[in-house]
Amino acid sequence: MPPELRAEILISLIESMLDITRNPDEKPKNLEEYFIRFFGKKSTKLYLKPYNEKYGKDP
């Protein structure tokens, strides 16, 4: 994985952690929102959402 992409993923994760501290009572409405909230937008877009669409189902 290129260093630039690793940095983008890390920044996205940090942003999601900051959002959790700013809005601790906000709850995800679906699995995609859960992924974004706890793993960041970049990880969700690149891996979690495509993997889940291929192999899993939204509960």
pLDDT tens for 7-23 read 999 999 999 999 999 99
- Tell me the pLDDT band of 59, cut-offs 50, 70 and 90: low
Question: Do 16 and 36 touch, CB atoms closer than 8 A?
Answer: yes
What's the pTM?
0.82
Q: What is the pLDDT of residue 57?
A: 66
At residue 57, the 3 state secondary structure works out as coil
Mean pLDDT to the nearest integer, 45-56: 91
Q: From CA 28, how far away is CA 46, in angstroms rounded?
A: 19
Q: What is the pLDDT of residue 58?
A: 58
Q: From CA 35, how far away is CA 51, in angstroms rounded?
A: 12
